[in-house]
Amino acid sequence: MPAATAPVQLDLTGSVADLTRILADIPSVSGDEAAIADAIEAALRGFAHLEVIRDGHCVIARTHLGRAERVVVAGHIDTVPIADNLPTRTVDGVIHGRGTVDMKGGVAVALALAAGIPEPTRDVTYVFYDCEEIEATRNGLGRLSRTRPELLQADFAVLGEPTSAVVEGGCQGTMRIEVALSGTAAHSARSWMGSNAVHAAGPVLDVLNAYEPQQIEVDGLVYREGLNAVGISGGIAGNVIPDRCTVLINYRFAPDKSLAEAEAHLRDLFAGYEVTVTDASPAARPGLNAPVAANFVAAVGGTPGPKYGWTDVALFSTLGIPAVNFGPGNPSLAHKDDEHCPISDLVACEDAMRRWLTS
């Protein structure tokens, strides 16, 4: 039998840049987070001021100081698949590699805070969770909200998602649908005897090409919507006219819409077609007018912007907990092969969060 691999040891008291690199160099594609969760749990258990709880591949660490307010600082520990962009490397003050932006930089900041602030002015629940990058049904934070909701009770939450170290409020909702086209199979040498379902997808693609995404202002922030085909499938053999074709479409919608309203909009656009919703997550309004959110913005500084994309602020919103996104790294680099995060962003986020948790 091959020798067991020794668990990675994390130093939570060193530099946040070094910690980011070590975390990013632990492969943790969605569904394969055991090794990084083990390392995080072991490191956190070394600090007496934290209660540490393991739930699947989620690791929760909490202070119990009897403060008047409790906040959640959360980050997901999974990444999208590696694209020959590990191990990490540092060039001119920038860390390159999968997960440096989305979002092991944010996780490193949270871990440094958990270890380095034994007596915050607010009680803090740090949550490190799995399976954020895949279908919502497997999301570790969602699982906690259903099975251990008491662990997420708080007055406010901060998601360490990449925001270039400025506050981003709310998030877009996301919905994926399949539009199915039917035809009649036939031998391709006698194509006139069939009906080509792939060709029938043309009008669906025409709808998408002609669609003009809206820019919608919600609570002072402008969200840009998007509607795009993200996949198409059909055909069974090189000599058969396909009798079935499916177009997979992703709709990113502003937080002025509910899931029901987003679905109704898509069904109106593709009226007459067979439409199936395959995945959906709600949007979240910015909520920056809540006093606890306004206090956070004042503490960390900067001018808030909208979050383009979906994050788990939406889940906290459904729980009635105001939440914002605030983390290192340019969000436009998330999932890119050349993903990279400036060390200056890591330091800025750590310093800002430390000010907030000690003020």
Domains of the chain, start order: 16-171+284-358 (3.40.630.10), 173-281 (3.30.70.360)
Q: Which of 33, 102, 132, 243 is catalytic?
A: 132
At 5 the pLDDT is: 62
Q: What is the pLDDT of residues 92-123, one digit of tens each?
A: 999 999 999 999 999 999 999 999 999 999 99
Would you say residue 259 has pLDDT above 90?
yes
Q: How far is CA 99 from CA 27, 127, 236, in A?
A: 9, 17, 37
Region label for 325, one of left (φ > 0), alpha (ψ between -120 and 50) or beta (otherwise): beta
279 a catalytic residue: no
Would you say residue 156 has pLDDT above 50?
yes
Chain-centroid distance of CA 351 in Å reads 23
Helices 34-44 and 105-116 pack at an angle, to 10 degrees, of 20
At 309 the pLDDT is: 87
Indicate the range of 205-209, 245-249, 269-273, 278-282 predicted with least confidence. 278-282
Q: Give the C-alpha separation, 156 to 230, whole Å.
A: 35
pTM of the entire predicted model: 0.87
Q: Which of 33, 41, 78, 102 is catalytic?
A: 78
Among 200, 303, 306, smallest CA distance to 252 is for 306
Q: What is the pLDDT of residues 275-331, one digit of tens each?
A: 999 999 899 999 898 899 999 999 999 999 999 989 999 999 999 999 999 999 999
Over the chain, what is the mean pLDDT?
Answer: 95
Give me the mean pLDDT over the 50-68 stretch. 98
